[in-house]
Chain A
């Protein structure tokens, strides 16, 4: 099960609405626990596939390096990624599968219909590597506890 705060859930869906009709993308930082991946913070990333951003996304590896460094500094890991499917179902595509290499991570997909966020689904990439990897449907639990982002904002306001 993937657990994330309501704030982060809404924020990643809003990201998909903002970039519509292009795909958005980002990383989810948190902890891998026996109960599943628990998200503590989401990080927006740029989509470098400007040639066909309406149906492709790619996060620049140098941005990933920085995100991983950020996670390490917070005592967190990259536990997943999110992206949007403009006017397309919230199901993984063959392209999503072929390009998925982070075994153990959650891949969250939000369908954006006419600019509005619709269904959000999560898929856990399981297996041991390229030869036996597979996506499995993963329940999403939306918590009301504040995320790291919200906590930092509140502390900044105090």
Chain B
């Protein structure tokens, strides 16, 4: 399946915008991705292996955090994973 890499993480995938990996589940596909590009791991996961809070991963149009089986969700070759860091901010601090 194809995994779409956002602009800031392409430095860790040799500049590739899309990486094709095998995997029967979301978790397996992500394992394949970080296995092929180990430097990606620390940008996606915390030291204890949890997905960083600002990193969103979508299976097609669904946030994997809200899928019933989460990373164990089964996938097909035609599915697409999109990694998308959050974007937020604001003018005043800490009010």
Contacts and interface: CB of A to CB of B under 8 A. Distances in A.
A94 B89 CA distance: 8
Task: Determine the main DSSP class of B at the interface with A.
Answer: mixed
Given A62-B58, A68-B84, A32 B7 contact: yes
Given A61-B63, A64-B84, A105 B8 contact: yes
A55 B7 contact: no
B67 to A, nearest CB: 13
Nearest to B9: A103
Interface in B57-95: 58, 61, 63, 82, 84-95
B89 A68 contact: no
Task: Determine the main DSSP class of A at the interface with B.
Answer: mixed
A129 B40 CA distance: 10
Contacts of A65: 56, 58, 61, 82, 84
A76 B6 CA distance: 12
Question: What range describes how many residues of A lie at the interface?
Answer: 35 or more
A68 B4 contact: yes
Contacts, number: 108
A58 B82 contact: no
A92 B90 CA distance: 8
Most buried by A among B7, B54, B82: B7
Most buried by A among B43, B55, B88, B94: B88
Question: What range describes how many residues of B lie at the interface?
Answer: 20 to 34
B19 interface: no
B87 A58 contact: yes
A93 interface: yes
A57 B90 contact: yes
The 10 A-B pairs at the shortest CB distance, nearest first, are namely A56-B90, A96-B89, A88-B91, A85-B91, A101-B85, A58-B88, A94-B93, A61-B56, A99-B88, A103-B8
Interface of B: 4, 6-8, 11, 17, 42-43, 54-56, 58, 61, 63, 82, 84-95
25 contacts: A25-B87, A49-B88, A49-B90, A55-B90, A56-B88, A59-B88, A61-B86, A64-B56, A64-B84, A65-B84, A68-B4, A72-B17, A77-B7, A78-B6, A83-B90, A93-B91, A93-B93, A95-B92, A99-B90, A100-B89, A101-B87, A102-B8, A102-B85, A104-B8, A125-B8
